[in-house]
Structure 1
Amino acid sequence: MTAAGPGTRPEGTPSVPFRAGDDGYASFRIPAAVRTPTGTVLAFCEGRVAGRADHGTIRVVVKRSTDDGRTWGPLVVAADNGADLAGNPAPVVLGTGRVLLVHVRNAGYATEAAIRRGEIAPEDGRRVWVTHSDDDGLTWSPPTEITADVKRPEWLWYATGPGHALRTRTGRVVVPANHSVPDDGPDNGPDGGHCLLSDDGGRTWSLGYVDDGDGTAGRDDEVAANESTAAELPDGRLYLNARTMSPSPAPRADAYSADGGRTLTAPFRPQPHLPGPVCQGSVLQFGASGPLLFSGPADPAARARMTLRVSTDAGATWRPAHTLDDRPAAYSDLVPLGARTVGLLYETGAGGPYETITFRRLAVPTGGPA
């Protein structure tokens, strides 16, 4: 294992809430995690029934831990779409303790490529739903569809998160998301970033910023934001960080919002201080005065080498704080646990990154230079 950076160390042994082949699911992917006011950690992911493919019969499943991720309870289905797909979990905890789960649904036969090409009827394409739990994830309400409020008619592909959503200090819920638009070109339209907003605890929803990354601004550094994540900085601004679909000029891009996600202060720009493969990542502002954290694989040639990185300048620059190991690793999500501890829920395995979804407890890095 690679040595930890200054001020950070592993906390205990890893736990494995999800392992491919367990609980009647061939594969588990797309982790997301939150911690409720009672201290219960909820680990979400997609339970894929038949295999690892992104289409088919897929459910959002969750496991609960009452000891900060050391052990886990039985699997609970949080969102079920019958033989079709419910996925891309984006959970968030409200001030009341209610857990909102925003997610997407589509017909099981509909592949991402076919949706992006516009070959899927709207009723079978990507649609947006929300459900909630008032008992720390034990049971879940019937889902409510919010597609008409948060998806423009021309958008084809659509994905929430993946990873936890954000509740700001004002109480606003911000759900990072991405979409694609029609195009006659070979790539079937550029990707774009946007967010969903709710100011009443998930009863009503609206679109926030939209950045289509289509080059219309005439900038050489125009990037197409894809899977995205958000954090609220100590000064109240939102920091948004997104995967791009090309490693050049950088595999990640970031942006800021000064109005709670309604608009961006400038379009997404390449973030050169987060090298790695094209892959989802997670950001977390640790407390009102702590550092900004990022998790994601750091090997630029493969999904491997899960690394926790830290920024002390609101995301302008980043440095490695701790590399967990050199094993294959892919998607991840960060969750605060205690005074100086953060949890990391991430895809990893010995022979490939999708064998398990593992949970690690890490000491939060100190703010000094590496």
Structure 2
Amino acid sequence: METGSCRLAALWTLLSVVLSPCVCSFSPDQIDPLMYEEQLLWVSGSQGEVNTFRIPLITFTSKGSLLAFCEGRKASARDTGAKFVAMRRSTDKGATWSPTAFIVDDGLKPDGLNLGSVVVDEEVGSVILVYSICFHKYQCKPSSTMMLESLDDGLSWSPPKNLSVQLGVKAFVPGPGFGIQKRHDPAKGRLVVCGHGTLAGDGVFCILSDDHGRNWYNGAQLKSIPYNHNKKALDFNPDECQPIELTDGTIVINVRNQNRYHCNCRIVVRSYDGGLTLPIDDLYFDTELVDPTVAAGALQKDGVLFFTNPSSDQHRINLTLRWSMNNGHSWVKQAMQIWSGPSAYSCLTSLKSGSAEDQKFIYVIYEKGYKDYDETVSFVKIHLYGGR
């Protein structure tokens, strides 16, 4: 005969199954995003030696943490001037964050560092941050590409390593955004970081590593026209960029159209050989992605391509999330406004545990303000199916 304790145990097991979180999978056609929570990570002028926080980056780690970075501009909001690299870390999917750590201090250089791309090597569990120094060559030269690495989930960082010995001395700023590790052939496992040059010598340039960041070499180039000459309005001048990888191994790079060549919209280029080349024949202008010339965010997650930018053809306002079911060939008409007011640079990431819980969310970090877009850096957790 069944005892009372056994009946109670059986009832508890049944209730646990009924009340447990759903482990079902979601279909992309069910996407209906909802802002799940938002919090300010940095407020300009609020931390002693920092005048302005700008250029936000965010990434997952192999251990399931989130790392957020930005420039702490010491004296003013200008691109030139001395800076910190500021970082905060979350181990609970963005609910709480560590205090700010300043992991790089460029001293009092008149032309300091510029962020930058963060890339996660999932094969070895490292996080690599790539940035430049003396990019503008304002009372400072030569320009150099620098790298930091963390092997303990962002808790500590290596001393800066100058990659110019390997790459040559050139003016190059990665991103801003994230680099990728190729998950598919060709060149599975390769680290790919793409960025831009000076306004005269601008374009999309990629650097590559096939040995987990120990050695780097120059890859694809898409140069501005006329290259190494001062530009005029409507000249072809690709600039800040964000690469993503499709499931067939193609790298798609979404690019800032600095001089509004052809349209007030984004430039899109593709690499089919792991970042070695960017065939001009496959370049196109995405007129659906109206843009005021700014760094934008892109993310490929579970077969869906997500994109964030200030959706305006003239002003840095109206930060908007869009998504595509066909790798960016067209965009779902529905869109989600993240912030109607002043907003500028943004970056996206997601956690990659494969769990149903992590399938639901993406994370956005962006510049946000009420009068000016550089007043704060804000973090948003978005439930992709929360509006249903």
TM-score bracket for this pair, using the shorter chain length: 0.7 to 0.9
User: In structure 1, what is the Cα distance between the partners aligned to 2:379 and 2:174?
Assistant: 22
User: In structure 1, what is the Cα distance between the partners aligned to 2:385 and 2:236?
Assistant: 30
Mean Cα deviation higher: 239-248 or 300-309: 239-248
SS in 2 for 1:358: strand
> After superposition, where does 1:80-229 map in structure 2 within 5 Å?
80-84=105-109, 85-95=112-122, 96-106=124-134, 112=136, 115=137, 124-151=141-168, 155=170, 157-169=171-183, 170-180=188-198, 189-214=200-225, 223-229=236-242
Q: Is residue 8 from structure 1 mapped to residue 46 from structure 2 by the alignment?
A: no
Q: Which among 277, 295, 301 is matched to residue 286 of structure 1?
A: 301
Deviation at 1:10, TM superposition (A): 2.4
Between structure 1 and structure 2, the one with the greater Rg is: 2
User: In structure 2, what is the Cα distance between the partners aligned to 1:365 and 1:225?
Assistant: 34
Gapped regions of structure 2 (runs ≥ 5):
1-28, 228-233, 352-357
User: In structure 2, what is the Cα distance between the partners aligned to 1:311 and 1:305?
Assistant: 19
User: In structure 1, what is the Cα distance between the partners aligned to 2:361 and 2:36?
Assistant: 11
User: What residue in structure 1 maps to residue 52 of structure 2?
Assistant: 27
Deviation at 1:248, TM superposition (A): 4.1
User: In structure 1, what is the Cα distance between the partners aligned to 2:235 and 2:293?
Assistant: 17
Change (3 A) 1:143 1:244: same
What are the superposed Cα offsets for residues 76-110 of structure 1, whole Å, 9 maximum, x if unpaired? 1222222222221211111222111111112xxx8
User: In structure 2, what is the Cα distance between the partners aligned to 1:31 and 1:146?
Assistant: 23
User: In structure 1, what is the Cα distance between the partners aligned to 2:261 and 2:320?
Assistant: 21
Change (3 A) 1:190 1:37: closer
SS in 1 for 2:166: helix
Check the 8 A contact 1:10/1:360 in 2, yes or no: no
Change (3 A) 1:215 1:87: closer
What are the superposed Cα offsets for residues 194-250 of structure 1, whole Å, 9 maximum, x if unpaired? 11100111100011111113269xxxx983210011000011100011101123422
Aligned residue type for 2:108: A
TM-score (norm 2): 0.81
What are the superposed Cα offsets for residues 91-146 of structure 1, whole Å, 9 maximum, x if unpaired? 1111222111111112xxx8x4xx4xxxx68x624210111111221211111111
Q: Is residue 276 from structure 1 mapped to residue 291 from structure 2 by the alignment?
A: yes
> After superposition, where does 1:43-58 map in structure 2 within 5 Å?
43-58=68-83
What are the superposed Cα offsets for residues 144-183 of structure 1, whole Å, 9 maximum, x if unpaired? 11124335x5x5x421100111111111111011113xxx
Aligned residue type for 1:197: L
Alignment size in residue pairs: 335
Q: Using the aligned pairs only, state the percent identity.
A: 31
SS in 1 for 2:346: strand
Check the 8 A contact 2:236/2:259 in 1, yes or no: no
> After superposition, where does 1:62-81 map in structure 2 within 5 Å?
62-81=87-106
Change (3 A) 1:134 1:190: closer
Deviation at 1:295, TM superposition (A): 0.9
Deviation at 1:6, TM superposition (A): 7.3
Aligned residue type for 2:88: K
Gapped regions of structure 1 (runs ≥ 5):
181-187
Q: Which among 220, 225, 244 is matched to residue 231 of structure 1?
A: 244
Q: Is residue 42 from structure 1 mapped to residue 67 from structure 2 by the alignment?
A: yes
Aligned residue type for 1:173: L
SS in 2 for 1:149: helix
Aligned residue type for 2:317: A
Change (3 A) 1:74 1:177: same
SS in 2 for 1:327: strand
Aligned residue type for 1:191: D
User: In structure 1, what is the Cα distance between the partners aligned to 2:165 and 2:40?
Assistant: 38
Deviation at 1:190, TM superposition (A): 4.8
Displacement over 6 Å in runs of 4+: none
Q: Is residue 363 from structure 1 mapped to residue 383 from structure 2 by the alignment?
A: yes
SS in 1 for 2:178: coil
Q: Is residue 264 from structure 1 mapped to residue 292 from structure 2 by the alignment?
A: no
What are the superposed Cα offsets for residues 38-90 of structure 1, whole Å, 9 maximum, x if unpaired? 22110001011112111111121110111222221111122222222222121
User: What residue in structure 2 maps to residue 246 of structure 1?
Assistant: 259
User: In structure 1, what is the Cα distance between the partners aligned to 2:276 and 2:253?
Assistant: 12
User: In structure 2, what is the Cα distance between the partners aligned to 1:244 and 1:33?
Assistant: 23
Aligned residue type for 1:135: D
User: What residue in structure 2 maps to residue 353 of structure 1?
Assistant: 373
User: In structure 2, what is the Cα distance between the partners aligned to 1:365 and 1:261?
Assistant: 33
Check the 8 A contact 1:44/1:89 in 2, yes or no: no
SS in 2 for 1:262: coil
